[in-house]
């Protein structure tokens, strides 16, 4: 029998493009949906050394879970001598540390690429710095007793969804030597208060120096593994790929970057800046997951000048920079460019990659001085 519906000969709606496909032209409805859920940090918040939670960027792949802390448990298992289950009261009795950490999404800058990979369409401000308080991961792994043969630690969150057609819980792994670093923290506080729901309540991992994807929110399980983890967010997503068929290399540490507080006042719609002629202090922050930021230069209409650097607040927290400028009437293009201790510096033009990862192109700000 022929079950074909005669209506199927009508033109079919175009298939909804899926995550990762390259696109040109106006943003799609799906990108707008993601952009309205996941917000970046307004650039004026760069004035603050510590970003208040409501201004810190947020990225959540699926839904924010509603966690009941009275029934919530953290499970630690796999290649350990003593598997454990811990509630929040027990975790809070363990020794705690507080680390200032700049987190940045690996997809920051994606919407500026041409063509751009379909995903969260960040511009340039998917960043923030918070003080994260909690138990050092190394302390708990020490108590559990990591067995010989362990190569990675897998962290799984409570949030589930489908990405690239694959049903999954959000999960990522760290090589064992990174997991045993003394500054990797299982955080239950952000800036001195309980984690807000969107930042991982009641417990999240924070991996200083790594792009944000490593810092698993709504943490439920820690599994010490004797083979490399092959989950979607490890093996498919978060890779530097030249094309769809390229296996690529994994994304890990944050590339050196700096941003500037746009001076003066904005036009509401275009965000173009306007300021009065005369002295103005240009300022911003710079960070790198590879180690200390050693220099920031400020570009004024293409001429680069060294900025003053304040003392760093911590190994993986951003560092304030400033440069006084006497603005003269006319149109100007301002820019900033940081260099880190490895000698890496920000590119003037971004190299394209298939997922739009690790963008650290120099920021440019157009200003009209009147
Ligand atoms: N469980 C879980 N953890 C997660 C994510 C997620 O979707 N689910 N997103 C990751 C990504 S891609 C980033 S950039 C950071 C963002 O952390 P924030 O929202 O606290 O800024 O969380 C990471 N941890
Ligand atoms: Mo991210």
User: Per-residue pLDDT tens for 212-244?
Assistant: 999 999 999 999 999 999 999 999 999 999 999
Beta strands (DSSP E) in 105-256 are: 116-117, 127-136, 152-163, 166-175, 185-190, 193-194, 204-206, 219-225, 239-240, 249-250
Percent of the chain with pLDDT over 70: 96
At residue 369, φ and ψ (nearest 5 deg) are -100, 125
What local confidence, expressed as pLDDT, does residue 285 receive? 98
**Model confidence at 2: pLDDT above 90:** no
**Model confidence at 87: pLDDT above 90:** yes
Measured CA to CA, the distance from residue 80 to residue 147 in angstroms comes to 5
* Mutation test residue for ligand 1: of 54, 57, 61, 221, the one with most atoms within 8 Å of CB: 61
Mean pLDDT of 40-68: 98
Tell me the pLDDT band of 9, cut-offs 50, 70 and 90. low
Neighbouring residues of the ion ligand 2, judged by CB less than 5 Å: 59, 105, 212-213
Position in ligand 1 atom list of the atom nearest CA 205: 24
* Mutation test residue for ligand 1: of 212, 216, 219, 232, the one with most atoms within 8 Å of CB: 212
What local confidence, expressed as pLDDT, does residue 48 receive? 98
Mean pLDDT of 60-84: 97
What local confidence, expressed as pLDDT, does residue 1 receive? 40
Q: Whose CA is nearest to atom 5 of ligand 1?
A: 60
Closest CA to 64 of 255, 213, 191, 202: 202
What local confidence, expressed as pLDDT, does residue 314 receive? 86
Q: Is the Cβ atom of 260 under 6 angstroms away from ligand 1? A: no
What local confidence, expressed as pLDDT, does residue 4 receive? 45
Q: Is the Cβ atom of 321 under 6 angstroms away from ligand 1? A: no
Mean of the per-residue pLDDT values for the chain?
A: 95
Q: Is the Cβ atom of 57 under 6 angstroms away from ligand 1? A: yes
- Residue ranges of domains in the chain, CATH in brackets: 27-248 (3.90.420.10), 257-369 (2.60.40.650)
Q: Is the Cβ atom of 171 under 6 angstroms away from ligand 1? A: no
Q: Which residue has the tokens 């192109």?
A: 361
What local confidence, expressed as pLDDT, does residue 6 receive? 46
Query: Ligand 1 center to residue 35 CA distance, Å?
Result: 14
pLDDT tens string 292-320: 999 999 999 999 999 999 999 889 999 99
* Mutation test residue for ligand 1: of 213, 234, 250, the one with most atoms within 8 Å of CB: 213
Bridge partners (DSSP) listed for residue 63: none
Q: Is the Cβ atom of 105 under 6 angstroms away from ligand 1? A: yes
**Model confidence at 156: pLDDT above 60:** yes
pLDDT tens string 111-154: 999 999 999 999 999 999 999 999 999 999 999 999 999 999 99
pTM: 0.95
Position in ligand 1 atom list of the atom nearest CA 199: 20
What local confidence, expressed as pLDDT, does residue 122 receive? 98
pLDDT tens string 308-355: 999 998 899 999 999 999 999 999 999 999 999 999 999 999 999 999
What local confidence, expressed as pLDDT, does residue 12 receive? 67
Query: Ligand 2 center to residue 311 CA distance, Å?
Result: 27
Q: Whose CA is nearest to atom 19 of ligand 1?
A: 58
3-state percent helix, strand, coil for the chain, nearest multiple of 5: 15, 40, 50
260 within 8 A of 323, measured Cβ to Cβ: no
Query: Ligand 1 center to residue 278 CA distance, Å?
Result: 42
Q: Is the Cβ atom of 203 under 6 angstroms away from ligand 1? A: no
């Amino acid at each position: 029998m022929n079950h074909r519906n005669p209506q199927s000969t009508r033109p079919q709606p175009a298939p909804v493009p899926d995550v990762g496909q390259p696109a040109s032209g106006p943003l799609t409805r799906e990108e707008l949906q993601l952009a309205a859920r996941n917000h970046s940090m307004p650039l004026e918040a760069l004035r603050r050394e510590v970003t208040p939670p409501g201004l810190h960027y947020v990225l959540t792949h699926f839904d924010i879970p509603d966690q009941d802390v009275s029934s919530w448990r953290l499970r630690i298992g796999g290649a350990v001598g003593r598997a454990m289950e811990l509630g929040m009261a027990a975790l809070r009795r363990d020794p705690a540390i507080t680390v200032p950490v700049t987190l940045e999404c690996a997809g920051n800058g994606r919407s500026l690429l041409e063509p751009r990979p379909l995903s969260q369409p960040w511009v340039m401000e998917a960043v923030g710095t918070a003080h994260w308080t909690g138990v050092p991961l190394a302390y708990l792994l020490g108590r559990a007793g990591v067995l010989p043969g362990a190569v990675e630690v897998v962290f799984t969150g409570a949030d589930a969804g489908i990405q690239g057609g694959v049903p999954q819980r959000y999960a990522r792994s760290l090589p064992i030597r990174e997991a045993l670093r003394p500054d990797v923290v299982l955080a239950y506080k952000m800036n001195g208060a309980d984690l807000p729901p969107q930042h991982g309540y009641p417990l999240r991992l924070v991996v200083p120096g790594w792009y944000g994807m490593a810092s698993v929110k709504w943490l439920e399980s820690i599994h010490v593994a004797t083979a490399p983890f092959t989950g979607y967010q490890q093996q498919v997503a978060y890779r530097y790929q030249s094309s769809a068929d390229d296996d690529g290399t994994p994304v890990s540490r944050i590339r050196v970057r700096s941003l500037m507080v746009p001076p003066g006042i904005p036009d509401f719609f275009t965000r173009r800046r306007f300021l009065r002629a005369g002295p103005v202090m240009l300022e911003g922050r710079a960070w790198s997951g590879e180690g200390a930021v050693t220099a920031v230069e400020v570009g004024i209409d293409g001429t680069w000048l060294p900025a003053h650097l304040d003392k760093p607040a911590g190994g993986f927290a951003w560092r304030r920079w400033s440069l006084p400028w006497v603005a003269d009437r006319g149109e100007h293009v301002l820019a900033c460019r940081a260099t880190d201790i490895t000698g890496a510096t920000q590119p003037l033009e971004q190299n394209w990659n298939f997922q739009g990862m690790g963008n650290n192109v120099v920021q440019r700000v157009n200003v009209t001085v009147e």
